[in-house]
Each structure stands twice: as C-alpha cells, then as structure tokens.
Amino acid sequence: MGKSLVIVESPAKAKTISRFLGRNYTVKASVGHVRDLPKSQLGVDVENGFQPRYITIRGKGPVLKELRDAAKKADRILFATDPDREGEAISWHLADALKVDGQSPCRVEFNEITERAVKSAIKQPRPINQDLVDAQQARRVLDRLVGYKLSPLLWAKVRRGLSAGRVQSVAVRLICEREAEIDAFEPQEYWSIEAELQPAGQADRDKDVFSAKLHNVKGKKVKINNQAEAEAIVEALRSLSFAVQSVERRERRRNPAPPFTTSSLQQEASRRLGFAARRTMRVAQQLYEGLEVGAAGTVGLITYIRTDSVRIAPEAQADARQTIQELFGKEYLPAKPPAYKSRAGAQAAHEAVRPTSMERRPEDVKPFLTRDQYRLYRLIWERFIASQMAPAILDTVTVQVQAGDYVFRASGSTIKFPGFMALYKEKGDNAEDADEQAGMLPELKEGEELTLLQLIPNQHFTQPPPRYSEAMLVKTLEELGIGRPSTYAQIIDTITRRGYVELVDKRFVPTELGIIVVDLLKQHFPNIIDVEFTATMEGQLDRIEEGKENWEKVLAAFWRPFSEELKQAEAHMEEVEIEDEETDEVCEKCGRNMVIKQGRYGRFLACPGFPECRNTKPLLKEIGVACPKCGSGQIVERRTRRGRTFYGCSSYPECDFTSWQRPAGKDCPQCGQFMVIRQRRAKGPESVCSNKECGYREEMPEEA
C-alpha cells in the first residue's frame, strides 16, 4: 500500500487522527478554509450566473505550500473535513488547490473521532458531494450579496461602519419586536384567594395543614378583578363550612428529554452552566476534536457537534443500556431503547451529540479536562445516558374542596420511581413543573369536613412577555427555521458586537441603533427582514443540498426583487442622524464632555472633537465597591475582547487588581481576604471568600 495524505481542518483533529493511522498515513491540517471571496470587493459575478471569485485567504499561502509539498509525496489524498456543507466546501476548495479530481473517491466522512470510526471511513472514500458544495456556495454568495450591498447604504444613510446581515437582521428584528411588545404592555390587575385548611378534629394546629386555591364558583372558573371583589368573596367564605368534594389519585409518567442537538445543547448549557452559545461551541469543538485522557492518549470525547438530529446509532444505544444496568440496575432500563423523532427537515445522516464511549464517565476524565470541558462533557454524558433510561413515575393527588358554591383545588405529588431523574432533569427557562414542586397532601377522604385556618387574598398583575435570553433566542430561531445549528453562536456574537443589541442581566435589549436599522430595513427591504421569507430561503438551501434545486436559479430569483429594492432605497431612504450620548466625563486633553461611541468590542468613551482630538477611554461602570487591593480606586465592570465580564480597579494601571467574580465590598471574617458574590440558580446569590482554601460563605439578600 502506498503513502496516503489525510487533510483535516484543525491541528487538534490532525493530532487525534494521526494516532489511529499507521505510518503509511500523513495527517495535515488546512486550519479551516484556505480560499474565500475577497474582502475588498463583492467577488460575485452577478451577470454571469453568480459565479464566485475565490482567492487564497491572506496568511494561508504557507499552509497551502505545505499541503502541496506533502501531496507530491503521497500516492493518495483523502479529505477528512467535517461532515457538513462547510466541511464539504473546504474539501472541494482543497481538491481544486491540490489538483485532485473531486469525482474520484477522495472524501472520507466520520461522525466521531474514534479509532473505529476513522478507520472505517478511510476504507470507504467517496467523491465530493457537489450538491452539498453548491448549498454552501449559495449561502455564502447570498450572504455576500446582502452584506456588501446593504452595508454601504447604511454607511451613507445612518452611520459609517454599520453592516447588515441576512439572518442577523431577522434576529435583531425579533428582539426589537419583543421590546415593543414589552413597551406597549399594560398590566392587568387580578386576585387569587388561598385557603389554609386542616382536617376537622385535628388537635395539633401545625399538623396536616395544606393550602388550596379558589378554582371555580358555581362551576365557572373564577376571575377576581380587584380588591373589592376579593374582599367580598373572603367575607362570604368566612361563614361557610369546608369539606372534601373529591380526591383523585393517578400515576403520571414523565419521559426523559432526547439527546442533544446543537440547538438544545446551546440552550441547556446556557441555562445550567451560564455558557454563551459561542463558549459552548468552542468547548464542544475541543471535546469533539480530541483531548489527552491519560493512558488512552488523544481521543475525541463526543460526536460531531453541528447537528439537528436526535438519531442514535444502535451500538451507542446498546452501550448506554449496559452502562445504565451497571450504574442503576435493570429496573432503570426501558423494555426497548427509546426512539426519538427529529424535527422536520433535520439532517438524518448525523447523530445527536453524545459521548463517543459510555465507559469514559465524567469523573474518570475529569483530571485531564479544564473546568469548562469537564462541565460540558458531564452535561452531554448525563443527558445522553438519561435519554436511554426508563421514565419517571409520579404519584399525584388532586383534591377539590367545596364551600357552598365555591370550589378550591389543591394538588401534590411524590416520586414513586425516579427513572431517568435519578441522573438528569432538564432545566427550563421558567420554574420547574409545579407538580414536582408540590409536597404530598394529608390523607383525605371524600366528604371529610375541614377546618378553615385562614383565607389569604393575593394581588397579582399580568406580566409582559420576557426579553430573550440566549437560550430563548436560539430556541425561537430554530422553531422559526431561521439559520442552522452551526450559525446560532455566530448570529448572537455578530448582533452584539455590531451594537444592535446589548445583554442586560443576561437578556437581550435592542439599542437605539438596532431599532433604527430594523425600522429602515422593514420599510425598504421587507423581504430581507421577514421571518417567513428567511425561513423559506433556508428551505431552498436545504433543497439545493438534496439536489432538488439549482443554486444559480435560487440566487437569480432572490436577486431580481432585491436589486430593485436597492435602487429604490438609494433614491428614497432618508438619512438618519443618531446623536452620541453625552457624559459628565471631561476630556483631559481638550476639555470637552466625552460621548459614548459603539466600537468593535462594545461601547467606549470618545472625545467629540475628533479628528482634532482623538482621545478615547474605556467606558467604566462602577459597582459601588472600593478596591480591596489599593483602597483608593473604585471597582469597575470591564469586558474582555470576547465579551466576558470581569472586575478591575479604576486606578489601572497603577493598581492591577482583577477578579472574575463581583467583589462584595467586605472582607472575610475568617481569613481577611475579600469576599465575592456568587450567583446560585435555585437559591439566589451568596457571598463567598475569594480564598478557596478558606471556604467561608454566607447568605445574602436577593437585591445584592
């Protein structure tokens, strides 16, 4: 057998794969794409079938030279890039650059980077799939046409440096429209009435007490609009006797959540671990490409991370069942492996995101992983194993209590059999299932008399729809068919970096700039910013991939109305002036009041005297705490270039104090080190000592 050259995207992936192949194989990395459209011009020949003009990406010349040199020494060249559109396109570009016939068996594809999967794929090379390449080219050209035609228009009409993206603009629209809903929302008052009850004759005032809520009056669901109505009902109830009308007991089964797709992984990592989508994808990529795990060497710990399918290979299910039996026992195994249905349009060729080996349990690999890697791997491992476990069984009791024409309802539940919940429970954006939160009710019988201990009227107001969190936005984009699994992190990163939205308390709020740009696009480019139109375009890209649509015809159908809208907008779109927000901060170089500007890495202070005065400063947000190191400076909130928040001293560079956690403004009574605030999802914030060896902690009020 002759020498083979295998080309992958990343050095980490190359290192992992080279371990599995013999010395007849050389594994090299292209380090992502080697060719792309030029940055300085459109790079698309609109008049000639939308043909793209590709050039070598700046800095990739030496990489290509290394690959060409290696190719000369090889008898066979195999492209082992990722198993998706982007990976297929990289292989296609590499084949062209290295003069390899793309229709020869030169492409290998695997869903996980394990010895078995890689060796199996090497034995079954196939030609490059031109339909996949065309779908990627269509998306790239489409995004280039929108970006490079709309952005100069926004520069001219609104502000220099602005840009618009096909999918990103729709995401900003969703956030703007949610904000408009919140602004227009008028809270409505309503009341509820709770009765605290106890079985009659119970001498112990604190025993068998339970609460029931007023549910209906004369068979109609109760609606109490104001305090006067609530007080009238309370007064009427005081003179009535209470008795158990009915007791309903039933068994409820709760099924586990399916294994992760890219989208559900991003959502759950956001809710459970506080990871931004970008952070989730970066760490997941490391787990997929391979890490050193002791004696096993470098190995890929999870399957391919860009997938919208919940399909599982039969051998993976068999391994999971064996692990469940070993860890929990036979009763936790369902009679047959669960079958989960992927959403319509999902790529069935891919599996869900799962561990490559069930035997590599989180605790076993923990010593070899970073904290982020371990936490994400554990989440994926537990979710997958739980998805193959038996349902949980809950015993629920619903009691109806009658008092004249009024009926109250109380419910409670206990876990009869934990099933998958012994390992994993999905975390939603809202409070967990009320049935599972409720405790058990006392033993009650139909007709049993009850003693009324007290009536509690409660005032409520209807709440506006919540702003989008990252998890909610990803879920909404997926449900609407906007973007694809591999693009969600990029979308969120782009709209935040461009200053169209801000994250406030982990929720997206549109900026004035974002609202103005969305309004302009709605007025002049209704299709570009239309949810349904964008989702339909995603469907067309999928059909190109399936070989059912011609990519040039799809682009032509898009370009005709879009180019006409461009002409109209250039002629009729009015210029919009956005005034910079003035601050009390005085420019020490010229004395003017500095203004807030939006830059590539967020907001900053700038002198309005530009270009005569070019003074700029970071925009510092004080948290009202003195620096624990120097005592004279104030602690301010700062951001890294990747957008992660940290805390530092306002006297920097004179004082170099920094902390990833928010200082609490007090010293530890045990060791004297400064205290920091740590957020806990279920119980609220707590104050903990920054010295990990000390371990002192104390509860603190929510307001902090």
In this predicted model, what pLDDT tens digit does every residue of 526-555 receive, in sequence order? 999 999 999 999 999 999 999 999 999 999
pLDDT band of 345, cuts 50, 70, 90:
low
Contact indicator for 221, 341 with CB cutoff of 8 Å: no
Neighbours of 181 (CB within 10 A): 12
Closest CA to 118 of 30, 34, 14, 23: 14
pLDDT of residue 601: 60
pLDDT of residue 429: 43
Beta-strand pair 189-199/210-217: antiparallel
CA distances, 342 to each of 186, 305, 351, 355 (Å): 39, 16, 10, 19
Residue with tokens 């009238």: 232
How far is it, in rounded angstroms, from Cα 330 to Cα 321? 9
Contact indicator for 535, 546 with CB cutoff of 8 Å: no
304 is catalytic: yes
Mean pLDDT of 458-462: 95
pLDDT of residue 436: 46
Contact indicator for 586, 615 with CB cutoff of 8 Å: no
Contact indicator for 107, 126 with CB cutoff of 8 Å: yes
Domain boundaries, the chain: 4-128, 138-184+466-572, 189-255+392-461, 265-387, 661-704
Question: What is the per-residue pLDDT across 383-435, written as a single tens digit (0 to 9) for each?
Answer: 999 999 999 999 999 999 999 999 999 999 889 999 999 999 876 544 344 44
Higher-pLDDT residue of 619 and 249 is: 249
CA distances, 197 to each of 207, 366, 395, 397, 410 (Å): 10, 50, 22, 16, 10
- Residue 572 pLDDT exceeds 50: yes
Beta strands in 260-319 (DSSP E): 291-292, 298-299
Higher-pLDDT residue of 655 and 393 is: 393
List Cβ neighbours of 373 (8 Å cut-off, separation of 6 or more): 283, 286, 287, 291
Neighbours of 373 (CB within 10 A): 18
Identity of the residue numbered 292: E
Lowest mean pLDDT among 94-98, 111-115, 199-203: 199-203
| CA-atom Rg of the chain in angstroms | 30
Beta-strand pair 616-618/602-606: antiparallel
How far is it, in rounded angstroms, from Cα 613 to Cα 592? 10
- Residue 438 pLDDT exceeds 60: no
Average pLDDT, the chain: 91
Question: What is the per-residue pLDDT across 596-615, written as a single tens digit (0 to 9) for each?
Answer: 887 666 678 899 988 889 89
Higher-pLDDT residue of 165 and 387 is: 387
Phi, psi of 389 (to 5 degrees): -95, 170
pLDDT band of 199, cuts 50, 70, 90:
very high
Identity of the residue numbered 33: H
On the question of a cis peptide bond just before residue 608, with omega within 30 degrees of 0, the verdict is no
- For 324-336, give one letter per residue: b (16+ CB within 10 A) or e: beeebeeebbbee
DSSP 3-state of 189: strand
What are residue 616's DSSP bridge partners?
A: 606
Domain at 4-128: CATH code: 3.40.50.140
pLDDT of residue 642: 60
How far is it, in rounded angstroms, from Cα 142 to Cα 155? 20
In 3-state terms the chain splits into helix, strand, coil percentages (rounded to 5) of 35, 25, 40
pLDDT of residue 679: 73
Q: Name the helix (H) or strand (E) containing 402.
A: strand 392-403
pLDDT of residue 500: 92
pLDDT of residue 703: 39
Closest CA to 8 of 26, 24, 23, 20: 26
Residue 679 DSSP class: E
Question: What is the per-residue pLDDT across 485-500, written as a single tens digit (0 to 9) for each?
Answer: 889 999 999 998 888 9
Closest CA to 525 of 178, 146, 46: 146
User: What is the CATH topology of the domain spanning 138-184+466-572?
Assistant: Topoisomerase I; domain 2 (1.10.460)
CATH class of this structure's domain 189-255+392-461: mainly beta
User: What is the CATH topology of the domain spanning 265-387?
Assistant: Topoisomerase I; domain 4 (1.10.290)
25, 54, 288, 304: the active-site residue: 304
How far is it, in rounded angstroms, from Cα 29 to Cα 90? 11
Identity of the residue numbered 481: G
Task: State the Cα angle at 34 between 30 and 40, rounded to 5°.
Answer: 155
On the question of a cis peptide bond just before residue 653, with omega within 30 degrees of 0, the verdict is yes
Residue 579 DSSP class: P
What percent of the chain has pLDDT above 90?
Answer: 73
Mean pLDDT of 661-680: 86
